[in-house]
């Protein structure tokens, strides 16, 4: 049962994550760091700046959505979601403690999987990698995990259970099987906030 829910969680994530369409924001150079500080009116260069694609969704049945390509930028009490266009960095979202309730790191710190962050009303899917790359950058992912730990953010993993559950309903979904599209029944699942005990 637990394995089925984890697999359902993976399907949910796949359905949620559609490729965004943007170029990679510059980062990691003296010039880009100075521009980032100026554009975001920061007092000093942030400790962590990593390239990422992200999307967010309210809890419940998850509908596919497009991703945003940009940078995750650390701040003393959380992180900023930053995009880059017209030679300028722009903050498009932020998540700070205590609104940032917990995170989910799947197999642990040293793996190369997506990260999830949870707030009261929605959750975020973070793919820490440069735009156009298929693989998660494990080193940059670890930098973000260490930042989250330093903030005191509880980080859950697979052994804590999934953050999706069955709704008890079956829906028909179109799937490609052996080169042909067929409609097959699938158990419906919904995402929930794993940061607090759930009531059944």
CATH number of the domain encompassing residue 139? 2.30.29.30
Asked whether residue 21 is assigned to any structural domain, the reply reads yes
Asked whether residue 172 is assigned to any structural domain, the reply reads no
**Percentage of the residues of the chain whose pLDDT score is greater than 90:** 65
Asked whether residue 83 is assigned to any structural domain, the reply reads yes
Q: Where are the beta strands (DSSP E) in 49-130?
A: 49-58, 65-66, 68-75, 78-85, 88-96, 102-104, 115-118, 122-127
Q: What is the residue whose two structure tokens read 């559950």?
A: 165
Amino acid 117: pLDDT: 98
Structure tokens at 183: 């409609």
Average pLDDT of every residue of the chain: 87
Q: What is the CB neighbour count within 10 angstroms for residue 125?
A: 22
Distance CA 167, CA 153 (A): 29
Amino acid 23: pLDDT: 65
Amino acid 13: pLDDT: 55
Summarize the chain as % helix, strand, coil (round to 5): 20, 40, 40
Range of the domain at 105: 2-160
Whether the predicted pLDDT of 19 surpasses 70: no
Asked whether residue 72 is assigned to any structural domain, the reply reads yes
Q: Identify any residues that bridge with 155 across adjacent strands, giving them in sequence order.
A: 103
> How many domains is the chain built from?
1
Asked whether residue 117 is assigned to any structural domain, the reply reads yes
Asked whether residue 130 is assigned to any structural domain, the reply reads yes
pLDDT tens-digit map of 52-93: 999 999 999 877 778 999 999 999 999 999 999 999 999 999
Asked whether residue 195 is assigned to any structural domain, the reply reads no
pLDDT tens-digit map of 127-160: 999 877 889 999 999 999 999 999 999 999 999 9
Q: What is the residue whose two structure tokens read 């693989």?
A: 135
Structure tokens at 114: 């997506």
Please answer whether residues 192 and 116 qualify as being in contact, where contact means their C-beta atoms are separated by less than 8 angstroms: no
């Amino acid at each position: 049962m637990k394995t089925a829910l984890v697999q359902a969680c993976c399907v949910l994530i796949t359905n949620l994550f559609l490729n965004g369409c943007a170029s990679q924001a510059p980062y990691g150079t003296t010039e880009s760091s100075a521009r980032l500080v100026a554009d975001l009116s920061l007092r000093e260069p942030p400790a962590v700046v990593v390239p990422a694609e992200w999307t967010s969704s309210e809890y419940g049945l998850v509908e596919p959505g497009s991703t945003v390509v940009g940078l995750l930028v650390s701040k003393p009490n959380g992180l900023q979601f930053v995009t880059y266009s017209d030679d300028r960095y722009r903050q498009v979202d932020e998540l700070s403690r205590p609104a940032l309730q917990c995170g989910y790191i799947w197999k642990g710190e040293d793996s190369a999987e997506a990260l999830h962050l949870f707030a009261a009303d929605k959750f975020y899917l973070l793919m820490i990698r440069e735009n156009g790359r298929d693989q998660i950058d494990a080193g940059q992912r670890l930098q973000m995990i260490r930042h989250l730990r330093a903030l005191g953010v509880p980080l859950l993993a697979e052994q804590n259970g999934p953050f999706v559950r069955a709704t008890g309903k079956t829906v028909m979904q179109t799937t490609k099987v052996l080169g042909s599209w067929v409609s097959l029944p699938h158990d419906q699942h919904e995402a929930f906030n794993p940061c607090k005990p759930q009531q059944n």
